[in-house]
Chains A and B, each alone.
Chain A
């Protein structure tokens, strides 16, 4: 199961976080800081999977942006690693500008890919379907 998805920048600021198990707000910040420190300190030639407490982190870096996914044993590391890429490709396809301005839409996209800690959709055009509907509604 996927426990959480984090997007953080190189300064360690969280840009997006989505939890699929309940974590108290007060503990989120600490967890995020910890996780980020863990990943940022790693070098390029190090492995993208890190054991962290009782779960595993799978992370991938895109320029200044890190995407970190916390998973349990029952997930396949490589498939999550590529899921991150799939997610980023969808973001690329949809957004032309900095994604920070459209966090709600990033959320919609993520929710189309992962629901409740499980992969639900991987087809790019179907992931974007709800957003396309919205945009059509707005245009008309």
Chain B
């Protein structure tokens, strides 16, 4: 064993480090470090040229200081000098410093590149490795430009040393990741794939990382790697090979390489070639068999290494999802691990079983372990393991065991770790809805959920229970009775009060026959909670009260009394005050008929995807909820909502309520358009006032204005949109920033950003004249249907815009559901006394809510096929209006918001994109294919989306762009 610090050891460094180690406090450490930094600085600046050894020593100290977490802002030049040293130790420290400290945009890169070039051509393997390593660590664009063509050659050259090949493989991988356009594999492909056959295991280990990455991007070009990987794996697993060298770890042959090979195979579907497949199945069986054999060593390292391979093999089996026999064996094996004494194994077993549960072949086998999993949920001492158990219960749940699982999860919730409660609540809510056979069970479950974990019950959950109760008249009476009972508890959660208020307000009459729950008793019960609640809940309760007046005329006097008291009618909160005043007025002015019409029972909600599921998906990120599960729940939701019969007119009315209520809205829907529309004819202008939104939402404010301003001169009405408004809109389909409009007086610039279903738009109004604009005002409105589809909120702008000045306005945009029209922006101001009135379309188009989706070729075509209903596709063939240049097209397609997918379409001329449109309640998957025909100067554009209206709209929008 070499005694390390002899000869080469740097004494000064050792002393410094031991000083630091002896520092008793952070302050002392900092003091010592500052002293050292000053010393090094003076040495570097000194007149005396430093020899290599001292340079190395000081650079090393700097490195150490950096690793302790202090910023280093000098010494880079000295490190670069060390690179050109001929002494390995000096060079090595130089490279280490550069790799650790230099970021990719440093100006030093050019100097470093020079040193690297020399080392690469030195033919000294250790120097070459250092250089390659450095390129891989820094990985800048400049380095890629300088070396990307050189490295594949080094990688596959026959005379390259093994260790150099290893570094070259990972170096190339890094460059491919940072600058894929510069790494052209073409001619090297086959030779790189054949590295899997390299006799040196280290080379295979390194190369496989590269090949895995390349295969994910270009599966077709690299598919020959499958058979090579299988034969390599087979040789390792059967231990028949003599090339294991020293790669055996605690009697397990090449565990890391085996894992990587199995991982690589997961990039591909099962091999088509029968012989290859046979060999692979044999391998997988051998791995499963080995798990049952007595261990060759008692050391934990042995079993860990063996199990690492086993878990990877099981992942592959699950990925293939085509061998029932292997799937069931995998499940049994995992079942054994569930009771293993090693926590790590139990954790991993729960995790992989979770994916196994979604396979039709093994779902039943997984279910047999339900008792063990429930036990794990109750007894595991580690929250992350319990979390896995909860995930698995969720995954294995179906109609047969839903009641048991939901009950167990509910009882677990009482003691669950805070960090996972919210997710647990969502899961319980989803399962309860998905597998509800009788809805009284569903209502009980959700109310229990609120009782046990009210704080973690998000709006989506309680909105949903109300939607379901409204839509199913067979459960309304039961729901009313149950919430009534639940509200009896001396302390009940505010969410319970919300649900209670809503349900009693709608269906209190169903239990009013019982003297124990007479109207007044119900009212008093609700009102006893009133003072403990927050403003939004109080607002909801006030709405419930007015509904009571309609349901039970005998409560009118009592309720009016309550509304009339100072704490309501003079409440400092505007919303509450307004409600109290308006409801009081409404109840005293309106006739019973009017009251009955206005306060009619809520129409059923239209069927749609559960917002809870959407929330869970968002929480867990994509992929956590499988597609089948989604479809499932859609179907179930359909059943749920379908139960209520709706005439076409109520459906239309309900459509405007379709959106998930926005956070501030309450579910009574009084604020939404349908009841207003119904009421307007009867009750005239008073009701418009009563029911219009008091919030800052622009659209309804506009309605208000119109009502009041009817006597104003006609020129004050918003002008009709400019004739060129559509053209202006089209300019912004593929970009987010730019000048929207300009005339001699005014320039309007736009900057916008979008995330998920939300967007923020900055409007810049520039006064191009030297004269002040007076009474400057802007209104954003969503005409017609758009009102329910898009929510645009704006803040008012300053009424004066000085000459030459610019003012800014921020709009917050929320996409509720997909839409076709664009919101209108009306601008009015006085310029030299003359009223200017201008209406533009705001460039908010559905594609702004795209999230790009990367996918492999096989995924793409699978999804393409899934979207094969004729109405899901929209196609247009049109003449090119703009340049057909590749880069221009690419930029436009990227600007569209989708991911531009390479190497998907067999014809390289074609463009293929994929993305998901995020709306509040829904995600709409979209696939796009653009086929240019340069000769004819034509395009064919095809869109397939999970929603037909979206395909059409996108097709219209895009046809203008190319």
Q: Give the contacting residue for A101; candidates B14, B170, B174, B382; CB below 8 A.
A: B14
Task: Flag whether A137 is at the interface (Cβ < 8 A).
Answer: yes
Q: Give the contacting residue for A76; candidates B129, B133, B311, B346; CB below 8 A.
A: B311
Task: Flag whether B205 is at the interface (Cβ < 8 A).
Answer: yes
Interface residues of B in 225-272 (CB under 8 A from A): 245-247, 249, 254-257, 259-260, 263
Complex CA distance for A25 and B66, rounded to whole angstroms:
9
List of A residues within 8 angstroms of B17 by Cβ: 100-101, 103
Q: Give the contacting residue for B246; candidates A119, A123, A133, A135; CB below 8 A.
A: A123
Contact between B205 and A138 (Cβ–Cβ < 8 Å)? no
Contact between A115 and B136 (Cβ–Cβ < 8 Å)? yes
Contact between B202 and A74 (Cβ–Cβ < 8 Å)? no
Q: A45-B382, A50-B384, A138-B8 are in contact. Are A115 and B259 (CB under 8 A)?
A: no
Task: Flag whether A61 is at the interface (Cβ < 8 A).
Answer: no
Interface residues of B in 18-66 (CB under 8 A from A): 18, 21, 60, 63-64
What sequence of 0s and 1s flags, for each residue 178-208 of chain B, a beta carbon within 8 Å of any chain A beta carbon? 0000000000000000000000011001100
What sequence of 0s and 1s flags, for each residue 90-102 of chain A, a beta carbon within 8 Å of any chain B beta carbon? 0001111100111
List of B residues within 8 angstroms of A120 by Cβ: 166-167, 170, 202, 205-206, 209
Q: Give the contacting residue for A78; candidates B14, B88, B247, B311; CB below 8 A.
A: B311
Interface of A is mostly: helix
List of A residues within 8 angstroms of B69 by Cβ: 14, 25, 28-29, 32
Contact between A122 and B7 (Cβ–Cβ < 8 Å)? no
Contact between B247 and A123 (Cβ–Cβ < 8 Å)? yes
Contact between B384 and A122 (Cβ–Cβ < 8 Å)? no
Complex CA distance for A129 and B256, rounded to whole angstroms:
20
Chain B, residue nearest A19 (CB): B100
Shortest distance between the CB of A17 and any CB in chain B (Å)? 6
Contact between B201 and A115 (Cβ–Cβ < 8 Å)? no
Complex CA distance for A50 and B163, rounded to whole angstroms:
34
Task: Flag whether A34 is at the interface (Cβ < 8 A).
Answer: no
List of A residues within 8 angstroms of B257 by Cβ: 122
Contact between A103 and B382 (Cβ–Cβ < 8 Å)? no
Q: A94-B1, A103-B67, A123-B246 are in contact. Are A46 and B92 (CB under 8 A)?
A: no
Contact between A119 and B205 (Cβ–Cβ < 8 Å)? yes
Contact between A104 and B170 (Cβ–Cβ < 8 Å)? no
Contact between A97 and B4 (Cβ–Cβ < 8 Å)? yes
Task: Flag whether B312 is at the interface (Cβ < 8 A).
Answer: yes
Contact between A79 and B170 (Cβ–Cβ < 8 Å)? no
List of B residues within 8 angstroms of A119 by Cβ: 205, 209, 256, 260
Contact between B305 and A107 (Cβ–Cβ < 8 Å)? no
Q: A93-B1, A100-B17, A102-B5 are in contact. Are A46 and B382 (CB under 8 A)?
A: yes
Contact between A130 and B202 (Cβ–Cβ < 8 Å)? no
Complex CA distance for A49 and B351, rounded to whole angstroms:
12
Task: Flag whether B103 is at the interface (Cβ < 8 A).
Answer: yes
Task: Flag whether B425 is at the interface (Cβ < 8 A).
Answer: no
Chain A, residue nearest B7 (CB): A138
List of B residues within 8 angstroms of A116 by Cβ: 136-137, 170-171, 173-174
Task: Flag whether B933 is at the interface (Cβ < 8 A).
Answer: no
Contact between A126 and B7 (Cβ–Cβ < 8 Å)? no
Contact between B259 and A76 (Cβ–Cβ < 8 Å)? yes
Q: A79-B256, A111-B133 are in contact. Are A100 and B384 (CB under 8 A)?
A: no
Complex CA distance for A15 and B21, rounded to whole angstroms:
11
Q: Give the contacting residue for A82; candidates B163, B205, B301; CB below 8 A.
A: B301
List of A residues within 8 angstroms of B348 by Cβ: 49, 77-78
List of B residues within 8 angstroms of A65 by Cβ: none
List of A residues within 8 angstroms of B18 by Cβ: 101
Task: Flag whether A63 is at the interface (Cβ < 8 A).
Answer: no
Task: Flag whether B224 is at the interface (Cβ < 8 A).
Answer: no
What sequence of 0s and 1s flags, for each residue 63-106 of chain B, a beta carbon within 8 Å of any chain A beta carbon? 11001110100000000000000001100110010001001100
Q: A48-B344, A49-B384 are in contact. Are A139 and B249 (CB under 8 A)?
A: no
Chain A, residue nearest B345 (CB): A78
Q: A29-B69, A46-B382, A51-B384 are in contact. Are A104 and B63 (CB under 8 A)?
A: yes
Contact between B246 and A14 (Cβ–Cβ < 8 Å)? no
Contact between B88 and A134 (Cβ–Cβ < 8 Å)? yes
What sequence of 0s and 1s flags, for each residue 113-141 of chain B, a beta carbon within 8 Å of any chain A beta carbon? 00000000000001001000100110000
Complex CA distance for A78 and B307, rounded to whole angstroms:
7
Task: Flag whether B625 is at the interface (Cβ < 8 A).
Answer: no
Contact between B246 and A108 (Cβ–Cβ < 8 Å)? no
Contact between B103 and A115 (Cβ–Cβ < 8 Å)? no
Contact between A101 and B256 (Cβ–Cβ < 8 Å)? no
List of A residues within 8 angstroms of B305 by Cβ: 78-79, 82
List of A residues within 8 angstroms of B147 by Cβ: none
Complex CA distance for A74 and B304, rounded to whole angstroms:
18
Q: A86-B249, A130-B126 are in contact. Are A123 and B2 (CB under 8 A)?
A: no
Q: A51-B384, A78-B311 are in contact. Are A118 and B206 (CB under 8 A)?
A: yes
Shortest distance between the CB of A32 and any CB in chain B (Å)? 8
Task: Flag whether B834 is at the interface (Cβ < 8 A).
Answer: no
Chain B, residue nearest A129 (CB): B163
List of B residues within 8 angstroms of A131 by Cβ: 2
Interface residues of B in 299-317 (CB under 8 A from A): 301, 304-305, 307-309, 311-312
Contact between B249 and A82 (Cβ–Cβ < 8 Å)? yes
Contact between A49 and B68 (Cβ–Cβ < 8 Å)? no
Contact between B347 and A49 (Cβ–Cβ < 8 Å)? yes
Complex CA distance for A108 and B92, rounded to whole angstroms:
9
Task: Flag whether B343 is at the interface (Cβ < 8 A).
Answer: yes
Complex CA distance for A140 and B204, rounded to whole angstroms:
34
Task: Flag whether B385 is at the interface (Cβ < 8 A).
Answer: yes
Chain A, residue nearest B262 (CB): A76
Q: A78-B348, A79-B255, A134-B88 are in contact. Are A101 and B384 (CB under 8 A)?
A: no
Shortest distance between the CB of B56 and any CB in chain A (Å)? 9
List of B residues within 8 angstroms of A105 by Cβ: 4
Task: Flag whether B399 is at the interface (Cβ < 8 A).
Answer: no
Task: Flag whether B865 is at the interface (Cβ < 8 A).
Answer: no
Contact between B308 and A82 (Cβ–Cβ < 8 Å)? yes
Task: Flag whether B381 is at the interface (Cβ < 8 A).
Answer: yes
Contact between A79 and B384 (Cβ–Cβ < 8 Å)? no
What sequence of 0s and 1s flags, for each residue 147-187 of chain B, a beta carbon within 8 Å of any chain A beta carbon? 00000000000000001001100110110000000000000
Complex CA distance for A41 and B201, rounded to whole angstroms:
39
List of A residues within 8 angstroms of B489 by Cβ: none
Task: Flag whether B275 is at the interface (Cβ < 8 A).
Answer: no
List of B residues within 8 angstroms of A22 by Cβ: 103-104
Complex CA distance for A29 and B63, rounded to whole angstroms:
16
Task: Flag whether B3 is at the interface (Cβ < 8 A).
Answer: yes
Shortest distance between the CB of B618 and any CB in chain A (Å)? 14
Complex CA distance for A47 and B133, rounded to whole angstroms:
34
Task: Flag whether A16 is at the interface (Cβ < 8 A).
Answer: yes
Chain A, residue nearest B343 (CB): A47
What sequence of 0s and 1s flags, for each residue 501-545 of chain B, a beta carbon within 8 Å of any chain A beta carbon? 000000000000000000000000000000000000000000000
Contact between A96 and B93 (Cβ–Cβ < 8 Å)? no
What sequence of 0s and 1s flags, for each residue 316-354 of chain B, a beta carbon within 8 Å of any chain A beta carbon? 000000000000000000000000000110111000000
Contact between A94 and B2 (Cβ–Cβ < 8 Å)? yes
Chain B, residue nearest A26 (CB): B71
Complex CA distance for A48 and B304, rounded to whole angstroms:
12
Can you list 27 pairs linking A and B with CB atoms under 8 Å apart?
A: A22-B103, A29-B69, A45-B381, A46-B382, A47-B382, A51-B384, A74-B263, A77-B308, A78-B311, A81-B304, A81-B308, A82-B249, A82-B256, A94-B4, A96-B1, A96-B4, A101-B18, A103-B63, A103-B67, A115-B167, A118-B173, A120-B167, A120-B205, A120-B206, A121-B206, A123-B202, A135-B2
- A residues near B (Cβ < 8 Å) are 14-18, 22, 25, 28-29, 32, 42-43, 45-51, 54, 74, 76-79, 81-83, 85-86, 93-97, 100-105, 107-108, 111, 115-116, 118-126, 129-135, 137-139
Closest 6 CB pairs of A and B: A78-B308, A118-B209, A79-B308, A46-B382, A115-B170, A47-B347
Query: What 13 new A-B contacts, CB under 8 Å, besides A101-B4, A119-B209, A122-B256?
Result: A14-B68, A17-B67, A78-B307, A81-B344, A101-B14, A102-B5, A103-B67, A104-B92, A104-B96, A119-B260, A120-B170, A121-B202, A133-B88
